[in-house]
Chains A and B, each alone.
Chain A
Amino acid sequence: METKILWLLPLSPLVAFALIVLFTNRNRALSHTLAILSVVLSWAGSMFVFWRALQVGAEHLAEEPFHEVVDWLPIGDGFFRLGVQLDPLAAIVLFFVAWTIVMIFIYSVGYHNFGQPEGDHDEKGLPPHGATVVDEHGHKHKVPSIEPMYSRFFAFVSLFAFGMYLLVVSDNLLTLFAGWEIMGLCSFLLIGFWFKKPSARDAAIKAFMTTRVGDVFMLLGIAYLYTQVGSLRYADIFNPETLHHLATHPAPVLGMSAAGLIGLLLFIGTVGKSAQWPLHVWLPDAMEGPTPVSAMIHAATMVSAGVYLAIRIFPLLAAAGHESAFTSPMPIIAFIGAFTALFAATIAVAQNDIKRVLAYSTISQLGYMVAAVGIGAYVAAAFHLVTHAFFKALLFLGSGSVIHGMEHGVLHTGQHIDPQDMYNMGGLRRRMPITFWTFLIGGFALSGFPVVTAGFWSKDEILSEAFGLGHMGVFWTLAIAAFLTAFYTMRQITLTFLGRPRTEAAAHAHETPPTMTGPLMVLAVFAVAFGWLGVPEHFPVLGGLLPSWFQEWVGATFHGLIPEHGELTFSYFPLTVSLVVALGGLFVGWLVYRGVQRADQPDPLEKVLGPVYGVLENKYYFDELYSYLLVKPAYWFAAVFAFRWMDRTVIDGILHTVAHLSWRLGHFLRNRIDLPIVNGFGDAVAEGTKGAGRLLRVVQSGRVQHYMLMALVNAVALLALVYYFVIRS
C-alpha cells in the first residue's frame, strides 16, 4: 500500500503537466484546478506515507525502508531496476516538500492575478502591465491584469513538482539524477518564463549552464561509482562491505580513496544545485522569474535537492574521511560551506532589492547546511534543511506579497518606481498587516530568534556541533555569518515595514488576496512549530520537556553505516554565542535603519564601509571575473583557435593546398608534358604523315599515262638495283 502510493507521488503532477499542455491550456481555471488537485493528491499521499512511517518507527524504517522496484534500463548482466524507497531521511524531506509545494501552488493563483481582467496591452512573454476598468460611476481605474501565460505557468511548476518528488522517492542515484535534471530544465523554463525580457532570458541560461557544470561532475561521479560497485541503488552502495571496499580502494587522482573521489564529484553536483561558492552566481539572477518560482527553487525544491544529495551520500563521505591513508573530502566540504555562508551574508547586507537579499540569504543558509555535512553533523544539516525550507518559502512568498502590494500602489498612483527596491517602501505594516506579521515570523526564524522560532533550534544545533566537535574555524565563521544574517534581516524588515511610507506607491499599497495570505499563515505556523521537534535533550530548562524527536528520527537513517561519535557534552558557550549574535544582529539592524527617511537616501552603511560597500554591492565582481576568466577565453578558444585557425585555416588549408597542388600538377602535366610532348609527338606523327601526303599528292594525279610512266620508271630502277646488288656481287 505505502509503496504503491510512493509511485503515485511523482506521477500525479506529471499527469497534470501532460493534461495542461495537451488539453486545458486555453482554460485557465481548469488548468490551475488540475495542477493544484495533483499536488494536493501528492500531498495527501505524502502525509499518509509519512504517517505510516511514523507508525513503523525510525529504526525499523531504516532497517527496512518502504521499497519497490521495476525493471528499467538493462545494463551489464541484468536490468537496471527503477525503484521507489522511503527511509526516515526521505520521509522527513517528503514532509516539507509536500507542504511547501501545495502552499506555493495555491499562492500562485493569487500571484498571477486570477480573476482579474485581461491586460490592455499585455503580451505573452512579459509580466502583466495592468488593465483599465470602468466602475459604475464611470471612473477609470488601473488594476492588475492576469498573467497572459497563466496555464503554461501551472504546467511548468507541475513538472517541477514531478522532478522533486521523483528525486525524493527514488531508491537509486540514477533516477535521483533524472529528477535533478528535470528540475534543472524547469528552473530554466521558469526563470526565463518572461522570455521577452532579455534579463530573464540571460538569467535562465546562466542558471542552467552553471548548475550544468555541477551536474556533469555529478554524472562522472555516478559513472565512477557504477564502475566500482556495479549498482546505483542506495541499498547496494550504503552497506558496510561496499563502503569499506570504496574507502580502501585508491582513486586515480588527488590521493583520495575511491569513496573520497566519488563523494567529491557528487558533492560538486550539490555545489552547483545548491549555489555554493564558486558556482553560486546563477542564484541571485534567478530572481528574474515570477516570485512563486523563486520560492519553488529556493525553498521547496531545487536547492534543497542539492543538500539532500549531500546528506544522502554522507555515509560515503564519512567512510572516505575515516581511512587516514587517503585525503578526506570532508574538510573541503566544510570549508566551502562555511566560506559560502559568510561570503553570501556579506553581499546580502548591501542589496536593495527585496528578493535579492533573500537570494543571498538562501546561498548563505545553504552554506550552513553544507558546512554541517562537512563537519559530520548531518542530522543538524537535515534539520536546518527542513526549517529553512519552511521559513524561506514563507519569506519569498511574503516578499512576493509585498511586491504585489507595491505594484498595486504603483498602478494606482502612476508613479514610475521599482516596486522591488526596499528604499521605495516603508511603513507597509499598516497597509499589509498579515504580510507583515508572517514576514516578521519568517525573518525572525531566519535570524535565529531564540526559543520560539524554528530557525533558532536548527542553527543552534549546527553551531553547537561545530563547537563540540572542535571545528573552531567553522564555528566562528558561522557565528559571524549568523550575526550578519540577523542584521540584514532586520534591515529588510525595518526598511520595508517599519517607519513611514517613503513613496506615494508605498502609501497606497494594498494587502493581497486570501489565496496569497493563506499560504503565508500556514507556513508561518511551521516556521515556528517545527523547531520544537528538535529541542536537544540537554538544553537548559526546555531540554527533556519535549523529546528530541528529529535527531532520533533522522539519526536512525544511517545507523551502523557511519562511525558514531560519542554524546557531545553540553556547553553554554555556543548557546550564548548564538543568542548574542541573533539578538545583537537584530538590534543593530533596527538601530541603523530605523532612521531612513527618504527613498533616495544613501545607505547608512555606505558611510561606514566606504569603498568596501561598493564591492559588496557588486557581489565581489564575481560575474565580471568569470566573464574574463572563463567565458571569454572559452569563446576565444572556440571561435578563434578551434574554428578559424584550426578548422578553417589548418585543416581546410591542407585540403585546399592539396587541391591546389593537384590542380597545378594537372596544369603542369597538361601544358608541359601533355601538350608539348605527348600531344606534340602525336601531332608530329600526324603532321608528318599529312606533310608526306601533301608531298606525295602530286604523283596521285589520276591519269593512267602518269601511272604507267611511273611503273616503268620504278621497274627500271628495280632492275638497276637488282643488277647492282645481286648480279654484280
Chain B
Amino acid sequence: MNLPLLSLIIFLPIVAGTVMLLWPSASRDTIRRLALVTATITFLLSAWLYVRYDFVAGGYQFVEKYPWLPDLGISYHVGVDGLSAPLILLTGVVIFTGTLVSWNIDRPREFFGLLYILATGVFGVFAALDLFTLFFMYEVAVFPMYLLIVIWGWEKTREYAGMKLTLYLLVGSVLALVGGLAMVFAARENLGYLTFDLLELEKAGLSVGFQKFWFPIVFFGFAVLGGIFPVHNWSPDGHVAAPTAVSMFHAGVLMKLGAFAALRVGVMLMPEGAKFHLPWIILLTLVNVVYGAFIASVQQDFKYVIGFSSVSHMGLVIMGIATLNHDGLLGSGVQMFSHGVMTALFFAVVGMVYDRTHTRHIPSLGGMMKKLPWAGVAFIIAGLTSMGMPGFSGFIAEFPIFMGVWRYKPWIAIVAAISIVVTASYVLRVAHKVFFGPLPEEFKDIPDINIFDRVALVTLVFFLVAIGVFPHIMVPWIESGVNYVLTILGGA
C-alpha cells in the first residue's frame, strides 16, 4: 500500500474544483475538459478501488490514519469495507455521468467547481472512520448543494427548495452532531480517553440506557438526509428545483449518505438502541414506501414523479437496514447502489427531455421515443429496474429486502409489496405518455441527444443490467460488509 488510493479519490475532486474556481483566465472549454478529465480519473480510480477490495478478507481496507487534532482524539482516518466500497464506486459513476450530461451548462467554472467540492464531501463520508472526519465531510457535501440549486436551479422554486433542503439537512446534522458528541463523551467514561475514532467507539460499550435515549436522535438526524417520513419533503422539492447533474447527485448519492451514516453511526455504534427502536422506525419506512409510491403515481410533473419514487425506494433502503437481519441489510446494501444508479439515470433522462422541450408537464409531452430513442430505452430500463424486474439490479436488491422484512413481520412485507404494483403503474403511465404517446407538433424538430449524453446513459444502464444478470459482481462485497454489521449486532 504505497499509493494512498483512497485519499487520492477523496481529494482529487476538491483540488480540481479549487483549481477551476481560482483560474479565472481559463476558457470555457479548458474548464470543461479539465472537469471531464477529473471526472474520468475519479471514476476509474473508484472502480479500481472497488475491484481491488478483497471481499474474502473483508473488514476495513485501504485504511489511512493521520493525527489531526490529537489532543481531542481527532484524526483523519479513512477506510472502506464491503458496504462502502460499492458506494465509492457509485459516487464515481455519478460524478462521471453527471459531468457528461452537464456539458453545456452555464458558467461551467463555478458549476463544476462546486460540484467537485461536493463530491469530495460525499467520498469523505463514505470513507470516514472518524466521527469528526465524517461530520466535517458531511457539511462539505451539504453546503455546495445550496449554491448549486439556487444558482443553476429552476427559476420558479429554486430559492424555496434550496432553503428548504439546507434547513432540513442542517437541522438533521445538528441532531446527529449532538448525539455524536454525547457518544464521544460517554465513551470517555468507559475508555478513559477522548476519541472520535469509530472503530474505538464501537468497542466503547455504551450503556443500554444511553443507547436507548440517544439512538433515535442520531439515527433520525442522519435519516433526514435519507428521506425518512415525515421529514422527506425537502427531497422531491430539492430534486425538482436542482439542475440535472445536481439532481443525479442529490437523489443518487446524497440520500445514500444519510442511510449509510445512519447505519454506520447509528446502528453500528448503538446496536442495543437500534434493536429497541426498530419497531417504530420500520413503520415509518413502511409509510415512506407506500405513501411515496402513491404520491408519485399522481404527479403531473415528470421530475416530481421521480422525486417521490426516490422517497419510496429510499424507504426500502432504510427498511432493510431497520430489519437488522442478514437479508434485509444485504438488500439495502444492493439497493443503495442500484437505486443510486437508477435514479441518476432517471434524472439524466428527464433532464434531456426538459432541455429540449422546456416542459416537464407530462400531459404536454409525447412521442419522445421517436425523437430521443436512446433516452427512451434508457428510461424503460430504469423503469424496469425500479419495478423490480428480474434481470435488473432492482430485483437483486428488493427480493432480499422483502425476505428480510418477511422474516421480521410478514404483514409489513405484504403492505410494502403494494408499492411494487403502484411503482409499475406510474412508470408505465409516464413511459406510455411521454415516450409512446402522440408527438406534439411543437416538438417535431427537437434535436437528438449528443455523444456525451449517450456515453452517460450507456454507463448507467451497464451497471443496472450487469448487476441484474451477474449479481456476484456486487453481492459478495456487500455480504462481507453485512457480516461485519451482524457480528456487531450479535456481539453487543
Contact = CB atoms under 8 A, between A and B. Distances in A.
Given A216-B421, A223-B403, A643-B298, A73 B471 contact: yes
Given A74-B479, A195-B432, A216 B417 contact: yes
Nearest to A213: B421
B381 to A, nearest CB: 11
A212 B421 contact: yes
A212 B428 CA distance: 12
Interface stretch (A180-188, A546-554, A714-722): A180-188
A627 to B, nearest CB: 14
A201 B475 contact: no
A209 B421 contact: yes
Interface string B406-419: 11001101100110
B400 interface: yes
Nearest to B231: A651
* Chain A interface SS verdict (over half): helix
B402 A74 contact: no
A79 B472 contact: yes
A201 B436 contact: yes
B contact patch SS: helix
Nearest to B429: A205
Interface string B380-402: 00001001111100011001101
Interface string A122-137: 0011000000000000
Nearest to A639: B298
Contact of A655 (B164, B414, B417, B475): B164
B285 to A, nearest CB: 16
Nearest to A217: B417
A635 interface: yes
Contacts of B421: 209, 212-213, 216
Contacts of B327: 75-76
A205 B428 contact: yes
Nearest to A646: B291
A252 B414 CA distance: 12
B164 A73 contact: no
A721 B418 CA distance: 97
A605 B330 CA distance: 61
B472 A223 contact: no
Nearest to B390: A178
B297 interface: yes
B476 interface: yes
A422 to B, nearest CB: 31
Given A182-B391, A205-B428, A655-B164, A638 B297 contact: yes
Contacts, number: 117
Interface residues of B, number: 49
Interface string A627-648: 0000000110111001100110
B420 A226 contact: no
A75 B436 CA distance: 38
A201 B436 CA distance: 9
A224 B428 contact: no
A651 B233 contact: yes
Interface string A450-487: 00000000000000000000000000000000000000
Interface in B93-109: none
Interface residues of A, number: 48
A227 B406 contact: yes
A284 interface: no
Nearest to B418: A216
Contacts of B422: 634, 638
Contacts of B164: 655
A196 interface: yes
Contacts of B384: 185
A449 to B, nearest CB: 42
A227 B471 CA distance: 20
A74 B436 contact: no
B407 A73 contact: no
A28 B16 CA distance: 51
Interface in B190-245: 230, 233
Interface in A3-31: none
Interface string A549-591: 0000000000000000000000000000000000000000000
B417 A637 contact: no
A73 B399 CA distance: 11
Interface string A199-231: 001001100110011001101100110110000
A72 B472 CA distance: 7
A643 B418 CA distance: 17
A223 B387 CA distance: 17
Nearest to A178: B390
23 contacts: A72-B471, A76-B327, A125-B436, A178-B390, A181-B389, A181-B391, A182-B389, A182-B390, A196-B438, A204-B428, A205-B425, A205-B428, A209-B425, A209-B428, A212-B424, A216-B421, A219-B399, A219-B402, A219-B417, A219-B420, A220-B417, A223-B402, A634-B422
7 nearest A-B pairs in the assembled complex, by CB-CB distance: A178-B390, A638-B294, A639-B298, A195-B436, A638-B298, A223-B403, A73-B471
Given A76-B326, A209-B421, A216-B420, 15 more contacts: A73-B475, A74-B471, A75-B400, A79-B472, A124-B370, A208-B424, A209-B425, A216-B421, A252-B411, A253-B411, A635-B298, A638-B294, A643-B295, A643-B298, A655-B233
